[in-house]
Amino acid sequence: MTPLKTGSKTDSKTAVKPAQNGAHKAAIRQENEEQILAAAEKVFADYGFKGATTALIAEVANVPKANVHYYFSTKEALYRRIMEDVCDHWLEAAMTFDNSADPAIILRGYIEAKMDLSRARPYGSRLWAHEIIRGAKFSSDYISTTVKNWLDSRVVVIRGWITEGKMDHIEPYSLMYMIFATTQHYADFGAQIEIFNNDQPLSETQFAEAKENVVRIILKGVGLNG
Amino acid sequence: MTPLKTGSKTDSKTAVKPAQNGAHKAAIRQENEEQILAAAEKVFADYGFKGATTALIAEVANVPKANVHYYFSTKEALYRRIMEDVCDHWLEAAMTFDNSADPAIILRGYIEAKMDLSRARPYGSRLWAHEIIRGAKFSSDYISTTVKNWLDSRVVVIRGWITEGKMDHIEPYSLMYMIFATTQHYADFGAQIEIFNNDQPLSETQFAEAKENVVRIILKGVGLNG
DNA sequence: ATTTATCTTGACCGTTTGGTCAGGTTAAAA
DNA sequence: TTTTAACCTGACCAAACGGTCAAGATAAAT
């Protein structure tokens, strides 16, 4: 519950940099914030902004409801904070789509990164899905600037590959939408996939095979043989 | 507001079959039910079951809230009714995946039907997305019976194509998930696509091109040349 | 013309909602 | 040890929630 408390005691008396002063208090704060953020991500992912309740978030986080408001002033502030976190992780995956050598390698890397992200942070993906389904009220700025700029620059790269004859003449947006859709489907529609899989979550092996299948179909589909 | 009222008056006096008796009352009922159902589909699609409110449904339907409860006893009853409608339409699209001649023609037809459904009834698709993201609480029975039986039988068909050497050796579930994901993405993530498309909804031409791109990538991706 | 069945809705009810706050506990600083 | 600053939370509030109901309006049947 209260980690880091004793750890700092063994430090030398000179301030090493990570404070030993307010160490306990700081640890409490960090612990509680993390617990609330994790609970909120889950609850918002299940019910969306409007459907989620601060009472349920508090219950999942195992803190009194008033404590949620002590750390995050309003439901909306909490929601925005989580959206930021999700976007940061999305940007990480986006970075794997770089300018290095082979188109097939780049696309494969990006698809695999997005599949891994769906596997590792399904709640983030679902939260994003809620946000877009609802009409992107909170995040339209972020999409129309950061995400759009990133996407448009990738489209330019892909068009370059096409004119160089490295892949088929395919509208890059259609390709990117297919990658978004398919990779995120494994998070957003995980409940459905689990039912189809005889009520068992996809095993690591099954997921690895799915990932490889997605990569293969898409690469071959656009005329790339990695 | 009250259509069909005068129309039946011009009919012959012999009962033609569509009653002229309670015609007006019946018309009112049908009109109101349709209006409420349309509004509810939209509101549930935006906010999910929990996030939607009967007051907003009433406002969108342009009837007093009490009238919503006159036609549909509870919020849940209304929700279930709409889920049924959505499932019926889904089954229609599913029927296009029949046993006729060429695998490429069958797959193309199914993908196009699903794309058209996303275009024609985006709210239904979004409502379904909410339902699954939340964990399929209302529809797990339907998925684990009707939908799963349908999917499993299609998987058998596809495996047949593979053993006959008509297409690549691809796990059929991965292929079907990709089709589900990509086609529904055009409904569920329509807001995002619109932003990427410079805040313009996809035109008929753009959508037709997207549809053709999806078909082409997937067919070629699994080794089918239609 | 009268009765009957259906449709309509403002007002209301108990519960849940996001958010507040006073008064308490705990730990760091003086 | 005392003071101060941060953390904690039961109890509370106004607003919004799903749902009810009585009383009235409308139209079909008698």
Q: A55 and A12, same structural domain?
A: yes
Task: Identify the pLDDT of residue A98.
Answer: 80
- Looking at residue B3, its pLDDT comes to 31
pLDDT at B35: 97
- Is residue A226 included in any domain, yes or no? no
Q: Does one domain contain both B88 and B175?
A: yes
pLDDT at A105 over 70: yes
pLDDT band at residue B25 under the 50/70/90 scheme: low
Residues of chain B positioned with their CB less than 8 A from the CB of A130 = 48, 130, 133
pLDDT above 60 (res B4): no
Task: Give A57→chain B minimum CA distance, Å.
Answer: 15
Residue B117: other Cβ atoms inside 10 A: 22
User: Tell me: the pLDDT tens digits for A172-225?
Assistant: 999 999 999 999 999 999 999 999 999 999 999 999 999 999 999 999 999 997
Retrieve residue B107's tokens: 């797959």
Looking at residue A146, what is its pLDDT? 94
Across the interface, whether the CB atoms of B182 and A182 are under 8 A apart is answered yes
CB of A30 within 8 Å of any CB in chain B?
no
pLDDT in tens, B42-62: 999 999 999 999 999 999 999
Residues A98, A205, single domain; the answer is yes
- Residue A140 near residue A133, CB atoms below 8 Å: no
Q: SS3 for B74-137, per residue?
A: CHHHHHHHHHHHHHHHHHHHHHCCCCCCCHHHHHHHHHHHHHHHHHHCHHHHHHHHHHHHCCCC
At A93, the pLDDT band (50, 70, 90 cuts) reads confident
Domain of B142, in residue numbers? 80-221
Residue B29 contacts A, CB cutoff 8 Å: no
* Whether residues A14 and A87 fall in one domain: no
Residue at A160 is within a domain? yes
Instruction: Write the pLDDT tens digit of every residue in A56-92.
Output: 999 999 999 999 999 999 999 999 999 999 999 998 8
The answer to whether B63 touches B32, Cβ cutoff 8 Å, is yes
Query: In the predicted model, is pLDDT for residue B6 greater than 60?
Result: no
Q: What percent of chain B has pLDDT over 90?
A: 81
Tokens representing residue A75 in the block: 């439901």
Q: Identity (one letter) of the amino acid at A14?
A: T
Q: Which of these three, B48, B72, B96, is where a domain ends?
A: B72
CA nearest neighbour of A187 among A167, A205, A165, A211: A211
Whether residue A59 is contained in a domain is answered as yes
> Residues of A148-181 as b/e, b for ≥16 C-beta within 10 angstroms?
beebeebbeebeebbeeeebeebbbbbbbbbbbb
The reply to whether A101 falls in a domain is yes
Whether residue A177 and residue B180 make contact (CB cut-off 8 A), yes or no, is no
Q: Which two tokens stand for residue A18?
A: 């990570």
- Asked whether residue B22 falls in the same domain as residue B113, the answer is no
- How far, in Å, CA of B65 to CA of B74, rounded? 12
Residue closest to sugar C1' of C28 by CA: A22
**CA dist., res. B55 & res. B154, Å (int):** 42
Residues A140 and A205 in one domain: yes
Domain identity same for A93 and A198: yes
* CA B46 – CA A134 distance, rounded (Å): 5
Q: Are residues A65 and A101 in the same domain?
A: no
Does one domain contain both A124 and A193? yes
CA–CA distance, A70 with A78 (Å, rounded to integer): 11
Residues A90 and A50 both lie in one domain: no
B195 touching A (Cβ < 8 Å): yes
The mean per-residue pLDDT over the stretch A15-32 comes to 65
Q: How far is B181 from chain A (nearest CA, A)?
A: 5
Residue B10 pLDDT level (bands cut at 50, 70, 90): very low
A53 vs A128: CA distance, rounded Å: 18
Q: Work out how many domains chain A is built from and give that number.
A: 2
Average pLDDT, chain B: 89
The tokens of A226 are what? Answer: 């990695």
Choice between A47 and B18, residue whose per-residue pLDDT is larger: A47
What proportions of chain B, in percent to the nearest 5, are helix, strand and coil?
Answer: 75, 0, 25
Asked if B134 and A199 come within 8 Å (Cβ–Cβ), the reply is: no
What is the structure's pLDDT at A28? 80
What pLDDT sits at residue A11?
Answer: 29
Q: Average pLDDT of A151-167? A: 96
3-class DSSP state of B167:
coil
- Residue range B146-169: mean pLDDT, rounded: 96
- The answer to the question of residue B173 being in a domain is yes
- Between CA A151 and CA A83 the distance in angstroms is 19
CATH number, domain of A52, equals 1.10.10.60
Q: Is residue B200 part of a domain?
A: yes
Determine the Cα–Cα distance for residues A128 and A188; give it in Å rounded to an integer.
9
d(CA A1, CA B153): 51
pLDDT of residue B13: 25
B49 touches chain A (CB under 8 A): yes
> Does the pLDDT of residue A18 top 50, yes or no?
no
Give the domain CATH number at A192: 1.10.357.10
In a domain, B178, yes or no: yes
The token pair at A52 is 């989620």
* Nearest Cα residue to B216 out of A174, A102, A163, A164: A174
The whole-chain average pLDDT of chain A stands at: 89
Please tell me whether any atom of strand D lies within 7 Å of the Cβ of B15.
Answer: no
Q: How far is the CA of A69 from the C1' of C20 (A)?
A: 10
pLDDT of residue B26: 76
Mean pLDDT of A4-15: 28
Q: Are A35 and A46 in contact (CB under 8 A)?
A: no
With residue B148 as reference, give the H or E element that holds it: helix B148-163
Residue B154 to residues A176, B82, B128, B151, B176, Cα–Cα distance (Å):
27, 26, 21, 5, 9
pLDDT at A14 over 70: no
Each residue of B77-97: pLDDT tens digit?
A: 999 999 999 999 998 889 988
Task: Tell me the two tokens of residue B111.
Answer: 């993908």
Reading the block at residue B29, the tokens are 């009922």
Among B83, B28, B31, residue whose Cα is nearest residue B52 = B83
Q: Can you state the percent helix, strand and coil of chain A, rounding each to 5?
A: 75, 0, 25
Final residue belonging to a domain, choices B52, B72, B92: B72
B192 belongs to a structural domain? yes
Of A72, A99, A119, the last residue of a domain is A72
Q: With 70 as the cut, is the pLDDT of residue B16 above it?
A: no
Residues A18, A48 within the same domain = yes
Q: What percent of chain A is predicted at pLDDT more than 90?
A: 81
Same-domain check for residues A47 and A128: no
Is residue A5 a contact partner of residue A23, using CB atoms and an 8 Å limit? yes
